[in-house]
Amino acid sequence: MIANSFEFKGFKKFIQEKILFGNEPTPELFGILTVYFVQGILGLARLAVSFFLKDDLGLTPAQVAALTGISSLPWIIKPLFGFMSDGLPIFGYRRRPYLILSGFLGTISWLALATLVHSAWAATFVILLTSLSVAISDVIVDSLIVERAREESLSQSGSLQSLSWGCSALGGLITAYFSGLLLQHLSSNQVFEITATFPLIVSAVAWLIAEEKINSDNSESKISPVKGQIQQLWSAVKQKQVWLPIAFLFVWQATPTADSAFFFFSTNELGFEPEFLGRVRLVTSFASLIGIFLFQRYLKTVPFRTILGWRTVIAAE
């Protein structure tokens, strides 16, 4: 029995150091990583959405690009969801209920896309809801990551974030090829129905989040934290070291992309089949895992300014 105890401790240490990048394995950590994993798995419907908009609804590349831009709105207003979860607890909890609601919202949205959507406007609204559900859950787990990151030592800096992105990339890697393969045998609506099951996993693991109930019925006490956070946010944004990175991210995200145009070109002009496009996504997801490994193994102690500078040069080539 003593030998078994040592073997278990050794296995636990191996998991903690080699797989979890030094993070203590806890049910809450499993719940956080599962949410990121589900975000990657939702890529199963990415190609189905593109083919659905192009073939079933007959949208043009410009219309698809506009729809994609609208669906990104929830990610632009992510701080609002953070204020809501912190200042407006549901049944006394700030994290768990929002995760549960985001999971149900995602399932309902994907089912609606599979059964009720027959126009561009309806598709825009429903895809916006799918994006909203992911954005809400992302805000919640990001806040938990930030809380845990404050306790990280210098040697562990970025480890938890790398682990989270690794789980997301792993989920994308698992479903990348199948996103194209399923379209060879199933309709887009059937792929949406399969995808609708995954957000329920987020609702299930929400119960693993360690959270104490807030025992306060004073409505003013619920509003004041939001006001305080807005004031703190404004004070932070006014600082040069904050608004300069924000400006960089704004310019970066405002740069036009050719995703929609390239999809139409690759399918109409080059005649690529869904299965081949799934293979391309597989390579992309695998490259993400390689990047995360390289950062964790060799670049974790390198200044972010240096990494960002070389990354910009390489991407511009």
- Is 6 contained in some domain? no
Q: How many domains are contained in the chain?
A: 1
Query: 141: closest CA among 33, 62, 244?
Result: 33
The pLDDT assigned to 310 comes to 80
Residue at 255 is within a domain:
yes
- Residue 278: pLDDT band (50, 70, 90) is confident
Tell the burial category of 53 from Cβ atoms under 10 Å away from its Cβ (0-12, 13-18, 19+).
buried
Predicted confidence at residue 14, as pLDDT, reads 45
Q: What is the mean pLDDT of residues 212-240?
A: 64
The pLDDT value given to residue 12: 47
276: tokens are 């081949």
Q: Kindly state whether residue 215 falls inside one of the protein's structural domains.
A: no
What is the dihedral angle through the alpha carbons of 192, 202, 295, 317, rounded to the nearest 10 degrees? 30
Does residue 68 form part of some domain? yes
Is the pLDDT at 185 greater than 80? The verdict is: yes
Cα separation, 131 vs 110, whole angstroms: 10
Query: Higher-confidence residue: 88 or 109?
Result: 109
d(CA 244, CA 240): 6
Percent of the chain predicted with pLDDT > 70:
80
- d(Cα 202, Cα 181) in Å, to the nearest integer? 25
Residue with tokens 């078994």: 4
Q: For 66-104, what is the HEC assignment?
A: HHHHHHCHHHHCHHHHHHHHHHCCECCECCHHHHHHHHH
Residue 200 sits in which domain range? 26-210+222-316
Q: Whose CA is closest to 127, among 63, 186, 203?
A: 63
| 138 part of a folded domain | yes
Q: What pLDDT shows up at residue 6?
A: 46
Q: Write the CB contacts of 83 (distance below 8 Å, at least 6 apart in sequence).
A: 226, 229, 230
Averaged pLDDT for residues 164-180 = 83
Measured CA distances, 13 to 9, 18, 196, 214 (Å): 6, 8, 36, 35
Q: What is the pLDDT of residue 130?
A: 94
pLDDT of residue 5: 53
Tell me what pLDDT residue 221 has. Answer: 46
The yes-or-no verdict on residue 18 having pLDDT over 50 is no
In this structure, is residue 275 part of a structural domain? yes
Tens digits of per-residue pLDDT, 112-138?
A: 999 999 999 999 999 999 999 999 999
- What's the pLDDT tens digit per position in 213-225? 777 554 444 445 5
Q: What percent of the chain has pLDDT over 90?
A: 19
In this structure, of 58-62, 226-230, 260-264, 299-303, the range with the lowest mean pLDDT score is 226-230
DSSP H helices in 153-299: 159-185, 188-195, 199-205, 219-237, 240-254, 259-264, 274-294
Each residue of 160-183: b (16+ CB within 10 Å) or e? bbbbbbbbbbbbbbbbbbbbbbbb
* Residue 124 located in a structural domain: yes
Which pLDDT belongs to residue 192? 94
Query: Which of 24-28, 174-178, 285-289 has maximum average pLDDT?
Result: 174-178
Write the pLDDT tens digit of every residue in 66-76: 888 888 888 88
Which residue type, as a one-letter code, is found at position 67? L
Structure confidence at residue 158 (pLDDT): 56
| CA dihedral sign, ordered 245, 249, 251, 252 | positive
DSSP 8-state code for residue 135: H
- pTM of model > 0.95: no
- pLDDT (tens digit per residue) in 283-310: 887 887 788 778 777 777 777 778 777 8
Q: Which of 131-140, 227-236, 237-246, 302-311 has the lowest mean pLDDT?
A: 227-236
Instruction: Supply φ then ψ for residue 216, to 5 degrees.
Output: -150, 125
Tokens for 123, please give them.
């598709």
* Res 79 pLDDT > 60: yes
Give the least confident one: 170-179, 198-207, 210-219: 210-219
Check whether 183 has a pLDDT greater than 80.
Answer: yes
The CATH number assigned to the domain holding 147 equals: 1.20.1250.20
Residue 11, in any domain of the structure: no
- pLDDT of 144 strictly over 60: yes
Please indicate whether residue 283 or residue 34 has the higher confidence score (pLDDT): 34
For residue 39, is it left (φ>0), alpha (ψ between -120 and 50) or beta?
Answer: alpha
Q: What is the mean pLDDT of residues 185-212?
A: 90
| Mean pLDDT of the chain, nearest integer | 79
